[in-house]
Amino acid sequence: MYVAAAVAASPPRRDFISVTLSPEEAVGAGGYNNSKARRRRSCWRKWKQLSRLQRSIILFLFAALTVCGVISYTSVGEPWKSLTNKSADERGTEPDAPGLKLANPAVLPAPQKADANAGDYPELSPQKKPKLLHGRRNPSNFQIKPPWGDVRQQTRHDTSKAVEEPAQADKQGKTEKSVISWRGAVIEPDQSSEPPSSRIKEPEKPLSVESESQKEPVPINERQMAVVEAFRHAWKGYKDFAWGHDELKPLSKSYSEWFGLGLTLIDALDTMWILGLREEFEEARKWVANDLAFDKNVDVNLFESTIRILGGLLSTYHLSGDSLFLEKAKDIGNRLMPAFKTPSKIPYSDVNIGRGTAHPPRWTSDSTVAEVTSIQLEFRELSRLTGDEKYQKAVDEVMKHVHTLSGKNDGLVPMFINTNSGQFTHLGVYTLGARADSYYEYLLKQWIQGGKTENELLEDYMRAIEGVKKHLLQRSQPKKLTFVGELAHGHFSAKMDHLVCFLPGTLALGAHNGLTADHMKLAEALIETCYQMYAQVETGLSPEIVHFNLHAQNGHKDVEIKPADRHNLLRPETVESLFYMYRFTGDKKYQDWGWEILQNFNKYTRVPTGGYTSINNVQNPINPEPRDKMESFFLGETLKYMFLLFSDDIDLINLDKYVFNTEAHPLPIWVPA
């Protein structure tokens, strides 16, 4: 092709210049075209013109740059991703984030629907607002899956790794309601227009929690692993020598019966769940399903059966979601109801669960005040789950009756009440120890369970604590330990049961729920005393009862122990209060104190062939005189509270969502209407 260009010249003559282009530079008989195809051909021609060495160097440099780019993206991208995820989680905790109230959803999963994936149990994330779901009570092909996994697998990991600290759980918002004032204490409880019993219209299904993103389980630490090992050792003795019976006798490798209902096994069900002992739990579940029968001609104690059996079954139902435990709870609950058929509606102490009859103890027509006023949490929860008012109505009548009785001393109650007249007996004796202790505990815990709506319970509790301060508090010598004594017809006794060591934890729980701050100060003083009841004893284990010295004497400690009181039954009360104090204060000295107690249990009460035994003499490290009995509450309470004490995971039984009964079985806090 030829392209001509005119060159200016003087007219009339014209000159021309002719330019010839090669065919390969021409573009399809048209003009010049800077197309992508042309550029690719040009670059390829230049690439081919390079020597092999030059091409190799360029390829090497390109590969090196690519690798560097990937490494840079990884190092910068992951922190950025974590930051953005954290920001998203934090946004989910803002007050106006969508979600329901968190007054009482269960921390662990409740029943799933029948078509749910077997074994799929989402755990509560502390960063997210949970959704409340209604689950089926009878899931088909239900599989038990403890939320913390099988501890056997966790032992393969480094248990010395620090425990992650989850974010603080959302607290229940306060509402503007009427104010209760009790001697300087101002409380603003959530109120309701009607009592909880009248709100039960249809069966309540347990609340389940489904988090938006599944929370990674907090790894258990070395101290928790030591508790797991202690539980396994105790469980081995029970399984080998007392399976299906009430209590293990570890020295004689046999068992003892109280009711013949497998008390130790039932008491330990929710402990196994919380500790993540999957195999042991499933084995125990099979016994409950196949062998636990309440149709027996046997007398049982109303109080002990309620807190251990009914409470244990209800708690396990809530934690596992397995309807088997609810059905068993309904069965025993119905069989205990004849106890309330008395002239005064104050229940008898004993019930024949096979015949459906009840009676007082053979030596008296009285019941103890603690027994008749410490069954409410369990029966109220049974009404909520079944929709049947009769259980809650029966126990609420007892509390309303006791609320109006005379014979109290600034809120302190006598130890006995007559089932015929409904009046207090043995007037003038006041204690926070045996026969009265859990009355005070359940005043507060019922108020918390019901959503802080029942003001009479709170008033009685606040009045009673003031009575304790006025009549029962003293300080010992030489360390000036604050302790709770007893009052008998105006005479003060410096005697304190180990059972009273429930009180620091209860006071701390009340303070955590908005009661006066001086309750926490008193709790801190009392838990120091309870610890000294261990530390000042030769074995490092507390006796059943101590007497405090009120006057300084050379060579005398604060604590004095009488020969009849120096036994130790593996009781949980001090460990229970240590758990509450650590959960609410974060002071690790409470964990250290609990660790000392566990080590001394291992040193003086552990039986090599399996199990632990109560001992007769805490003052003799050489021969503590083992009693050959392991109480069911050692597995149901003591080791459970130990495990929780050593955990830094506040969502491992969150105390804003659960309330423990007096046998350490957690029950959900109700959502206010």
For 135-146, how does the pLDDT look when each residue is reduced to its tens digit (9 = 90+)?
A: 333 333 333 344
- Reported as a single tens digit per residue, the pLDDT across 103-126 is 333 333 333 333 333 333 233 233
For the ranges 176-185, 205-214, 333-342, the maximum mean pLDDT occurs at 333-342
Calculate what percentage of the chain has a pLDDT beyond 70.
71
Residues 345-361 have a mean pLDDT of 97
Q: Which of 350, 371, 441, 573 is catalytic?
A: 573
User: Residue 277: pLDDT above 50?
Assistant: yes
The pLDDT assigned to 239 comes to: 98
Segment among 124-133, 600-609, 616-625 with least mean pLDDT: 124-133
The pLDDT assigned to 60 comes to: 81
User: Residue 20: pLDDT above 90?
Assistant: no
- Rounded to the nearest integer, the mean pLDDT of the chain is 81
The pLDDT assigned to 215 comes to: 58
- State which amino acid sits at residue 483: F
For residue 12, whether the previous peptide bond is cis, meaning omega lies within 30 degrees of 0, is yes
66 band by pLDDT with thresholds 50, 70 and 90 = confident
The pLDDT assigned to 95 comes to: 36
Q: How many CB atoms lie within 10 A of CB 363?
A: 6
Active site residue 24: no
Active site residue 304: yes
The pLDDT assigned to 637 comes to: 98
176 band by pLDDT with thresholds 50, 70 and 90 = very low
For residues 279-318, one letter each, b for 16 or more C-beta atoms within 10 angstroms of the residue's C-beta and e for the rest, the string is: ebbeebbeebeeebebeeebbbbbbbbbbbbbbbbbbbbb
Residues 308-316 have a mean pLDDT of 98
Q: Tell me how far CA of residue 375 lies from CA of 256, 347, 372, in angstroms.
A: 25, 10, 6
The pLDDT assigned to 7 comes to: 40
Name the residue among 340, 327, 363, 353 with its Cα closest to residue 259.
Answer: 353
User: Residue 214: pLDDT above 60?
Assistant: no
The pLDDT assigned to 86 comes to: 42
- State which amino acid sits at residue 316: T
Is 529 annotated as a binding-site member?
Answer: no
The pLDDT assigned to 545 comes to: 98
42 band by pLDDT with thresholds 50, 70 and 90 = low
User: Residue 374: pLDDT above 60?
Assistant: yes
Q: Is residue 361 within 8 Å of residue 418, measured between CB atoms?
A: no
Calculate what percentage of the chain has a pLDDT beyond 90.
66
Segment among 131-145, 363-377, 380-394, 458-472 with least mean pLDDT: 131-145
Q: Tell me how far CA of residue 171 lies from CA of 17, 102, 110, 177, in angstroms.
A: 94, 7, 21, 17
- Reported as a single tens digit per residue, the pLDDT across 633-647 is 999 999 999 999 999
672 band by pLDDT with thresholds 50, 70 and 90 = low
Gap between the Cα atoms of 25 and 280, Å rounded: 86
37 band by pLDDT with thresholds 50, 70 and 90 = low
The pLDDT assigned to 75 comes to: 53
405 band by pLDDT with thresholds 50, 70 and 90 = very high
Number of H helices, E strands in the chain: 20, 24
Active site residue 573: yes
User: Residue 30: pLDDT above 50?
Assistant: no
9 band by pLDDT with thresholds 50, 70 and 90 = very low
The pLDDT assigned to 432 comes to: 98
Active site residue 123: no
Segment among 113-127, 179-193, 374-388 with least mean pLDDT: 113-127
Q: Is residue 432 within 8 Å of residue 354, measured between CB atoms?
A: no
More confident residue, 166 or 41: 41
Exposed/middle/buried for 200, CB within 10 Å: 0-12, 13-18, 19+? buried
The pLDDT assigned to 535 comes to: 97
Give pTM, 2 decimals.
0.73
Segment among 70-74, 358-362, 571-575 with least mean pLDDT: 70-74
- Reported as a single tens digit per residue, the pLDDT across 549-575 is 999 888 889 999 999 999 999 999 999
N-terminal to C-terminal alpha carbon distance within the chain: 94
Residues 411-421 have a mean pLDDT of 97
Residue with tokens 């692993």: 225
User: Residue 205: pLDDT above 90?
Assistant: no
Residues 84-89 have a mean pLDDT of 42
Residues 355-367 have a mean pLDDT of 94
Q: Which of 350, 544, 651, 656 is catalytic?
A: 544
Gap between the Cα atoms of 267 and 526, Å rounded: 28
The pLDDT assigned to 114 comes to: 34
Q: Find residue 412's DSSP bridge partners.
A: 409
For residue 478, whether the previous peptide bond is cis, meaning omega lies within 30 degrees of 0, is yes
Residues 485-497 have a mean pLDDT of 97
The pLDDT assigned to 85 comes to: 45
Residues 327-348 have a mean pLDDT of 98
Q: Tell me how far CA of residue 389 lies from CA of 190, 202, 262, 334, 383, in angstroms.
A: 22, 9, 29, 12, 5
The pLDDT assigned to 61 comes to: 83
Q: Which of 270, 350, 366, 437 is catalytic?
A: 437
